[in-house]
Structure 1
Amino acid sequence: MNSNQFFTQSRLLTQLVLVFILITTGFSSLAADISVDVSRNPVHVNESVDITFTADGVTDGDPDFSPLENDFEILSQSSSSQVSMINGAVSRNYQWIISVIPKQTGGLIIPSIAFGSDRSPASMLQVNASSQQSSTQSDDIFVEVEATPLDPYVQAQVVYTVRVYHRVGISQAELSEPEIDNAVVEQLQKDSKYRTQRGQFTYDVYERRYAIFPQRSGNHTIAPIRLNAQIVTGRRNGGFFFSRDITRTERFVSKSVALNVKPVPAAFTGKYWLPASSMELTQTWSADPAQAVAGEPMTRTMVIQSEGLMKSQLPVLSKLQKESIAGSDVKIYPDQPVLTQAGTAKGILSRREEKIAIIPEKSGVVKLPAMEIPWWNTQTDRMETARIDETVMNVKAASGSKSFSSIPQSTDTKTDQNDSAVFNISSSEQTANDFWKWASLGLGLGWLLTLIAVAYYLHYQRKHATRHEQDNREQRTRDQRSRAGRQLKQACQNNQAADARTALLNWAQARWPENPPTNLATIGRRLPALHSVIEELEQSLYNASAEPWDGSAFWEQFKTHRKHNPTRSNRADTPLEPLFKT
C-alpha cells in the first residue's frame, strides 16, 4: 500500500466517523425535553389554573391532553413558539398553555402527557376547598335560581329563572343551560339586565328565563347552573392603545332544584291532556253561514290560543271538526295550519289557526255541532272547557243557468240575411286578396319566430346566469339535511324522543325550504309512509301514559323511506347524493 492509498483510506474512515457522530448527535437531539409548570399552587376548587408545557425542541408529535379531563375541566388551550440565537446556536422553544378548573379537592396528579413518543413528567397540584361562601349577599358574584311551580303536572310549564349577581367587573362569562332528564326546555325572550340592592351592596343582575315541560311524572332534579366568569383584577399598562385587563377565571355554581311532577289527575276526562294557565277557542266565517249556497265553499277560521303550552301541544282542530260532522251532507277541506309561539316573562304563549273550506252538498238546514276542548287550569287546579257554540247553516239551492233552448233564434235569421247581402267578388280581385293574405301571414309568422328565438335566448342566458347560484343553494340544503340526518340517527340510537323531534324538524325544513313544516303533524301528512311512527313519537313526547319511545323502530322506518324515496334537487334530471350514509 503506497502513501496515497493510505491517506485516501484514512480520510474516508475519518468522514465515516464524523457522519456517525453527526447522526448520533442528531437523533439524540430529536428527543425534546418537556417541562411542566402551573400558574398557582395550591388553588381552590372553583378557580382556574394555567398548566404550561414547554419543550426545548421539536416534539415527536402533537400533544394529547385528554388525560387531563379525568380530574380537570379544560377551559381553553393556546400554543406559541419562540426562536432564539445565542453565539451562533439556534434554539427553539414551544409552549402549550392549558387553562383548567379542578373537579375536586385534594392532591391531584397532572398526568404525563404524550407528545408522540415524547412525554412530559407528571406533577402534583394541591386543590383546597372553595374560598367562596355559599351565595350570600356579601359575595362579589353569585348565581340564584328559581322554579315556579315546584310541583307541576306532567307536561305542564315550569318557569325557571336564572339570575347572576355581580358587583365586580367581568370581562367574559359562560352560563350553562338547564339540565333535566325527560323534559323539553325552551328559552324565553332575551336576557334582561337591571340593578338591585341587596343589603348594603348594589349589584348588576343578568336574568335569563326558561320554560321547562317535564314529560314524566315523579321526582326530577334540575342540575345546578354553572357560571365560568373571567373576573377583572387589574389592568396591564401597555401604552395608550395596548392596555388590557388582567383577569382570573372562577366558577360559580347555583343550587339544584327538585321538582315533584304530578301525573294527570283522575278528575280530568278530556281526550287530550292540556295543562295551561289559560285557553281560548274562537271562530270567524268568510260569509254569513245563514246565507250559504249549496255547492259554494265558505271558509271557517278557528283559532285556539293558550298560555303555558307549546304550539306542538295544541290539538288539531280540523280533526275534531271532522269527528263532529261525520255523516252530514257537508264536505270539509282543511288548509295548512299556522302555528306561532312567543316567550314572555310569564311563559310561553302559543296559537294555532286553521282555515277550513266547508261546502254544503244540498239545500236545507245543516247544523255544525258545538266544539268543546277540555283543558286543565293550572291556576285554579280544575278542569275547564274551551267551547265554540253550535253553528246553523241555512243552505239555499244553487240558482240554475239558462238552457240553450232559451237562446233567441233571431241570431240565425240575421246571419242568413247578412250572408245574402254579401257581394260576389270577381276572380282578379280574389287573386289579389289571396296574395296579400298569404303575404301578411308570412310576415306574421316571421315576427312570431323572431319573438320565440329572442325569448329562448333570454331564457337561456337567465338560466345559465343563475345555475351557479342554484348549485350553491342546493349544496347548502344537502349539507343541512345531512347534519340533521346524523343528529336524527344519534337521537334514535339513544332513544331520545325530544332530540329526535328537533332533528326531524330540522331535516324537514331543509327538505321543504320553500314551505317548511313547523310541527310533526305536518311532516306526517307530507310523508304518509312515516305517519304512524311520527304519531308514536308525538305520543311519547306529549302523552304521560305512553310507553317509552323505541328509536330503533323509527330509524328503520325512516331509513326505508329514504331508500325508496331519494330526495332530488330542483332539476329533476340531476340526482342528489344520499342523504347520509349508514
Structure 2
Amino acid sequence: MMRRWWVVLLLLLAPLAQAAAVHAFLDRSHVSLGDTVTLNIQSSGSLGTPDLSPLQQDFQVLGSSRSSSVSIVNGKTTSTNQLGIALKPLHAGTLTIPALDVGGAKTQPLTLQVGSAPSGGTGKTGDPVFMQSSVLSSSPYVGQQTVYTVRLFYMPGVDGALSDPTANGARLIQLDRDHRYTVERDGYAYKVIERSWALIPQRSGTITVQGPVFQGQKMGLGSPTLQMIDPNTLLNNPNALLNGQLPGFGQPVRATAPSVRLDARAAPANAGKPWLPARNVQLKLTGLPANGQVNAGTPLTVTLSISASGQPADALPEPELPSIAGARVYPDRTQDATDDSGEWLQGSRTRSFAIVPDRNGTLTIPAITLDWWDAANNRAEQAALPAHVLQVSGVAASIASATTPPAAAVASGNAPAVSPSPVATDAAKKPVVTAAAPAFWRGVALASLALWLLAIVLACAWWWRRRGSSARKQAGGTDADMDAAWMDRSAARAPSRPQPPAAKPDPRALQRRALDAARDGNVAACEHALLAWARIERPQVTSAGDLRGLLSDPAQREALDALQRARWQGGDAAPACASVARVFARGFAWRDDQGSARLREPDLPPLYPS
C-alpha cells in the first residue's frame, strides 16, 4: 500500500520538476511598431506545444520554429530544446507577455516596450534600402556611455557593405550584439540589421555623430545570378560584398544614416575623484586565508579587481592596495578585459599582490574605497571593501623569544645554574628549526658576495695581462710575438677578397606570400607582400598608389582598390582578398615601357653627362 502512495506522489511532482526547467526570454526588450520580436522558450527536457491564445490580444503570431542542442562538459551530457515564436506587436506601449502553459509547465511573464513607428532617415519607404539612427541618451556626461543605434532596412536582392560612424569628440566602440529581423512598412517587407555602438563623449558641449554609409547593388529579378543564389543566404548577409554577383548585373544603391546631435555635460561639482560615471561599480578582494592566519616571511597572494558596467577597462583606475604596516607589498601586472556582448560595456581590471609580513602580531589590510557616479540614478556613490585583520606568527616570533636572555641573569653575570624544565627545553629547541631560513639566506648572500669579488679579480687579471702583451709588442717582444706581428702586417697588405653580392629576394616566394595572405584574408599582410613583390620588377613602387598607376589591367587596379577599402575604410576583407588572389595569380600586368619609363628613375647614369 505504501509503495502505491509513493508512485502517486512521484507522478504529482513530475509536472513541478518539468515546470522548473522551462525558461522564456525575448531576443529584444525594445522594438518599434511594425517590427517583429522572437519569444524563445527553452527546456532541458521534452518541450510540448504551448497555448498561444493569451498572446492574440496584443500580438500577431507569425510562425514558430524548433531547435535542439547537446553539450558535453566534464563528461556530463546536457540537451536543450528551444521553441522560437515570431510575434508582431499590434499597438505601441508597454506590453506584457503572460505566463504560457507548455505541457503542464508555466513560463514566467515578460515585458516588452513597443515604441511608435520611427520616421526620418535617408531614403523612404518603398526604396530598395534606407537607414535610421538613434541615441539612447542625448545629454550624457563626459565619459558616460550611451548607446548609438543604426537600423538598415533593405529589400530582397540588396547586397553591399556598411561603413562605421564617426564622431569628433566622442569614442565609438562597436557592440557585439547585432539583431536581424523583418518588418513591414506600408505594405513593403524589409529585412533589418540593427547595429549598436557604445558612444562615450570625451569632452563637454555639442557632439555630432555622422552616420555610417551603405553602398551596394540591387540585383534584378531576372538576373540568372539571383536565381542560382540561395535567397536565405542573400537576405541574411547584406554585408557580404558582391556575394556571388557577376560584374555588370544589378543597380547601384546607396544610403546614409542621418546624423545625430547630443549635448555632453561636464562632471558635476559634487562628483568624487577620479571621475567615473557608470551604471554599477564593484570592488573584490580574493585570496585571503579563511582562518585569518599567516606566517611571517611567507608571501600571501591576494587579488584586487575593479569591475564597472558602462565603462571599458582602460577607463577604470589601476587597482592599488593601501600602505600596509608591518609587511612588504609586491604588485603584479594589471590584467584588463572588456566585454562588449551586451548593451553596456563591462570593463574589469584585475591585479595580484604578494604581501610578505616581516614581523609577528597583527597585520591590518586597510579599507579600500572608490568614488564613482551612478549615471542611472544621477547621484554620487562609493564602492568599498572593509578592512581585514590577520594574525602573523612564525619565524620572527620564535627567534625573538629564543634569543632574548632573562634580564636579571644578564645584569648579575653569575646567574645560578638551573636544570632545564621540559618547557624550557622545547623552547630552546625551536630556534634550531626556525633559524634555518635566515641562515640559508645569509649563506646565499655570502656566496653571491664571493662570486662578485672573484669576477672583479678575474677582470683585473685579464686587463693586466692584455696591457703587458701590448707593451711587449711595442718593445719588440719575443720571436713568436714578432712572427705574429709580421703575419698580421702581411695579412693587412694582402688584397681583400671580394664579398659575395647580397642575395636578391625571390619573386616567386614573394608572390606565394602575397597569394597565401590573400587566401587567408589577412589584408595588411597581403598589401605588404604585394608591394614587396612589385618592387622586384618596378623598384620605384613605394605605395599602393604607385603600384596602381603602373598597372594596365583594370581588374588588377579594381582589386587593389578593394583591398585598400577593406583595410582603411572597414570594407569586407574576404571578397577583396579573394579578388586579389584571382587577378594576380599570373603576375602583374604592367603598362607599356614608355609609360613606365616616365615614372621610374634610370638604372645607370648617362654615358655622356651634360
State the TM bucket, normalised to the shorter chain. Answer: 0.3 to 0.5
TM score, norm. by length of structure 1: 0.43
* Structure-2-length-normalised TM-score: 0.41
